[in-house]
Amino acid sequence: MNRDRHATNPAAARTASTQELRDAYLVDGLFARGEVRTLHTAEDRMLVAGVVPDGGELSFGEIRALGEGGLERREFGVVNIGEPGEVVVDGVPFELGHRDGLYAGRGSTLAFRGDGARFYIVTAVAQASHPTVLLPFADSEPVELGSEAGAGRRALHRYVWGEGPTASSQLQFGVTVLHDGAVWNTYPPHLHERRTEVYLYFELDEDDRVVHLMGEPEHTRHLVVRNEEGVVAPRWSIHSGVGTGRYSFIWAMAGDNRDYGDLAPVSVQDLR
């Protein structure tokens, strides 16, 4: 299943129905046994995918929305949200455990193996080639954010973020893990005026949900998100969320720069 979405504008989101918001911004239905499923958004030309090898081997093929050879001009971020599995990059296998990441540069060919592995992939157009890097979760140094009093204490693990040892053309991504008792992420909210960000929520219990806040600060909207679902946040949209239980999420960005700190904080007093 390969889906393609047009870019959107804030005026349309102000009056959209719940279903229209879900159709435009929700990332759902990515993970199916034995399949590669993709969702392409014209917002900074980002593409996300879910790959569930189910004991066999699956690889990326042509994606209609990208045109012939479209994947050859992209760089890739991969995170395994399931049991251990392998990502084969240009014929070389890399073992990824739960939450482990991998970066593969422009023009790489990728295949996926593993019984119980569930791979989440995010890709962006790349202007230069960079080497493949395995990014174990255990080796990443977390940035501690939030507080227990604010119910938002969390550990942000940066895999590729414009600095550090792993270079990229424009892609940034990582994993944020909430501590016990925390329910808020990225609060107060912010937006990136020069980049698109995509969230993928995981490690939610079956009956738990995240209420993801989006839209313009003065015209906020929301989406109710389940486990292994996410949201596309265009450059004009805030992003923040609160869950009914503990969860983790993968964040990924692409756009005009790789400055991780290039964001616009939004005061709570300005939210409507």
Looking at per-residue pLDDT, the higher value among 20 and 62 belongs to 20
Average pLDDT over residues 19-44: 96
CA distance 222 to 241: 9
Q: What is the pLDDT, as a whole number, of residue 263?
A: 85
Count, residues in the chain: 272
At residue 165 the predicted structure's pLDDT band, cuts being 50, 70 and 90, is confident
Look at the pTM and tell me if it is higher than 0.85: yes
Cβ-contact 51, 76 below 8 angstroms = no
CA distance 162 to 170: 8
Query: Residue 230 pairs with which residues in a beta bridge?
Result: 27, 200
Query: Residue 158 pairs with which residues in a beta bridge?
Result: 174
Closest to 75 in 3D by CA, of 39, 122, 117: 122
CA 65 to chain centre: 19
Average pLDDT over residues 92-100: 98
Contacts (Cβ under 8 Å, ≥6 apart) of 255: 44, 170, 192, 194, 195, 196, 235
pLDDT at 212 over 70: yes
Q: What is the pLDDT, as a whole number, of residue 62?
A: 66
pLDDT at 234 over 70: yes
